[in-house]
Amino acid sequence: VSLAPDPLHHTKRAILDTAERLFATHGFKATSLRAITSEAEANLGAVNYHFSSKDALILAVLRRRMTPLNQERIEILTRFEQEADGQPVAVEKILEALFRPPVELVARGNKGGRYFVRLIGQCLAEPGAYLQPLIQEEFAEKNQKFHAAMHRALPYLSSEEVHWRLHFAIGVFLHTIANADVLELSSAGRCRVTSVEGTLRRMITFCAAGFRAGEQQGTQS
């Protein structure tokens, strides 16, 4: 996941980085422009010059990571589909294409990847909903492609059921990454989301089994 290719102004980039971190750490409304600009060693006026309002700033923060992230997911899935050569892609592979980019973004840890995923969770939970439309728009293609792939892999599931289970899988992934500290606390420090491969394997194992459950649909009431 590479960031925008433009040679971003130093201050503009610093503001984006700092805003990402502070938004994720303290919440959107709770983060003042003053806090951002002072930590970014920029001027208070700069944020209204480069972006034009606080609302536009958070959209910029989100878009910067979200777009390349979803592109990467789709690229991986497409590669798997080419390798499969007409056959359906295995459930595990589809899940890997879905999970790996964000997990690596978080684990790579350089700068604010970690903060970004927290932000996504916040955007869904926090309503404000200035950004809910953006999210929908930005995720539409990804959702459609992954639904199609999963439906092909599990043709005995109804389309609705695939939607439900994709929703479940997203829940697994979001809560695991965004609230990793809760896991660490409730396990008294014994479980940590440090290893990319370990975390991926655990999530994929869990979700793949979930997707394959009840092959003839609804055995238990």
By the criterion CB under 7 A, which residues form the site for DNA? 9-12, 31-35, 42-46, 48-50, 52-55
53 binds, among DNA, a copy of itself, none (CB under 5 to 8 A by kind): DNA
Nearer residue to DNA within complex by CB, 31 or 199: 31
Amino acid at 131: L
Number of residues that bind a copy of itself (CB under 8 A): 67
Nearer residue to DNA within complex by CB, 12 or 165: 12
Give dist(CA 15, CA 61) in Å, integer: 9
Amino acid at 176: T
Question: Which residue is listed with tokens 């409730």?
Answer: 186
Q: Considering only 39-47, 49-57, 66-74, 182-190, which stretch makes contact with a copy of itself by CB under 8 A?
A: 182-190
Alpha helices in 130-218 (DSSP H): 132-153, 159-178, 180-186, 196-212
Give dist(CA 218, CA 200) in Å, integer: 28
Sign of CA dihedral 28, 31, 37, 43: positive
Length of the chain: 221
- Provide the mask over 6-45, with x wherever binding to a copy of itself is found by CB under 8 A and - wherever it is not: ------------------xxxxxxx---------------
Nearer residue to a copy of itself within complex by CB, 108 or 175: 175
Nearer residue to a copy of itself within complex by CB, 51 or 211: 211
49 binds, among DNA, a copy of itself, none (CB under 5 to 8 A by kind): DNA
The contacts of residue 189 (CB under 8 Å, 6+ apart) are: none
44 binds, among DNA, a copy of itself, none (CB under 5 to 8 A by kind): DNA
35 binds, among DNA, a copy of itself, none (CB under 5 to 8 A by kind): DNA
Nearest Cα residue to 201 out of 95, 118, 108: 95
Q: How far is the CB of 9 from a copy of itself (least distance, A)?
A: 29
Q: Long-range contacts: 140-143, Cβ < 8 Å, 24+? A: 141/70, 141/74, 142/70, 142/73, 142/74
